[in-house]
Structure 1
């Protein structure tokens, strides 16, 4: 029996579920998935009982319950310090926390304009003007990190919390054909080809079509 349970929603649509799942996988915690469909009224009521914010993911580990993605990251980092969820270098570690927090609390126009949908591809997609500054900011963040480190992830050879936080953006850029320069495209392709991302994507593509996309990100 698994030591922990991670409550998640649709693997095709739920970017926050993806982030929490990646963090758990990266930490090495032994966990079972507990999928719920927030479109179902009974499941939405269950989510409300589990998590006051009606949000996924939610991690239960023994008597501990954590339902905010960054809180999950910090909890897993404290519990499994050898997993290397944050960079060892204090300057890079602070930078990692800052850009992870920026993704956690910002980019609202990007979320609305380019919802995560792993089953969809748009050869040409007109991004409304409000989302363009968010896209450019993501590009700047990635470039600054890749200029500082040696890649292939944002802070070096190993993925960190920052890569988990920005992984859904890589899927969005692919889905909506957002143009990237060579360096940034190489990073996005590396994340999309990451074994954990392939595992998640395969499961997302296998989801039944009956799952309905929500109007807000979850």
Structure 2
């Protein structure tokens, strides 16, 4: 029997990323469902002060609205020279939510005069898995993954999304946008966080 799991996202790339994590772990019996595949429900705004708070809220909302286990993530870029910003504001750093080009351009402008040795940064992902509850006490597991690197001066690469073209991971000559999907999964912040959920997802698949 297949267990349906809601992924609280409309980003098809995130669904494919989680599917690759399941496949590489040999987990069968889970059908991933995106927000576009379920009836609309009220989604709370992402007003948490941390990635963990936002991910947990989205996962609880999804599980409560659909009755399915729900995975949600909140992720972003923390830049050392900007004291951890844009952080939870990463997707709307330029003032327009999801405008990758504008967000990246603003970030590069803010770092224009910052020397190489102070351009350190980390991609951070908090992933939450919530199970629907009959008594109102929703069980939520939250994990965190980080991917260290630094910000380059010009965008490079056409893969990925968000700030990937200006983020060069530690030990790499390429930016995140120059890596293949499989290479990124193996070391990315979201990949590292999702990998921590594999035991729970394996048990869920076995229970179905």
Q: Which has the higher contact order (CA 8 A, sep 6+)?
A: 1
TM-score bracket for this pair, using the shorter chain length: 0.3 to 0.5
Q: Which structure carries more helix by proportion?
A: 1
Q: Which structure carries more strand by proportion?
A: 2
